[in-house]
Chains A and B, each alone.
Chain A
Amino acid sequence: MGETITFWVLAVVSVSAALGLIFSRRAVYCALMLGVVMLSLAVLYAVQDAPFLAAVQIIVYTGAVMMLFLFVLMLVGVDSSDSLVETIRGQRFWAVIVGLGFAALVALGVGNVVFAPSTGLGAVNAAGNVPSLAELIFTRYVFAFEVTSALLITAALGAMVLAHRERLEQRASQRELSRERFVKYGEEGLDPSPLPGPGTYARANAIDMPALLPDGKISKLSVNRYIARYEAEEGTIDPKVAEILEGDGK
Chain B
Amino acid sequence: MTTHYLVLSALLFAIGGIGVLVRRNAIVVFMCVELMLNACNLAFVTFARQHGNIDGQVIAFFVMIVAAAEVVIGLAIIVTIFRTRRSASVDDASLLKY
Residues from chain A with a CB closer than 8 A to the CB of B8 are: 7, 11, 14-15
B27 touching A76, Cβ below 8 Å: yes
Partner pick for B68 among A45, A60, A72, CB 8 A cutoff: A60
Interface size class of B (residues with CB under 8 A): 35 or more
Bound complex: CA A152 to CA B18 (Å): 29
Residues from chain A with a CB closer than 8 A to the CB of B14 are: 99-100, 102-103, 106
Minimal Cβ-Cβ distance residue in A for B70:
A155
Q: Which of A16-24, A169-177, A209-217 contacts B (4 or more CB under 8 A)?
A: A16-24
> What are the interface flags for A174-193 relative to B under an 8 Å C-beta threshold, 1 for contact and 0 otherwise?
00000000000000000000
Partner pick for A119 among B12, B28, B50, B72, CB 8 A cutoff: B50
Which residues 1-50 in B have Cβ within 8 Å of A in the complex? 1-8, 10-19, 21-25, 27-28, 30-32, 34-35, 38, 41-42, 45-46, 48-50
Minimal Cβ-Cβ distance residue in B for A22:
B19
Supposing A107-B7, A137-B61 touch, asked if A37 and B35 sit within 8 A by C-beta, the answer is: yes
Residues from chain B with a CB closer than 8 A to the CB of A125 are: 54
Interface size class of A (residues with CB under 8 A): 35 or more
Bound complex: CA A29 to CA B62 (Å): 28
Residues from chain B with a CB closer than 8 A to the CB of A19 are: 15
A91 touching B64, Cβ below 8 Å: no
The answer to whether A223 has its CB under 8 Å from any CB of chain B is: no
A119 touching B52, Cβ below 8 Å: yes
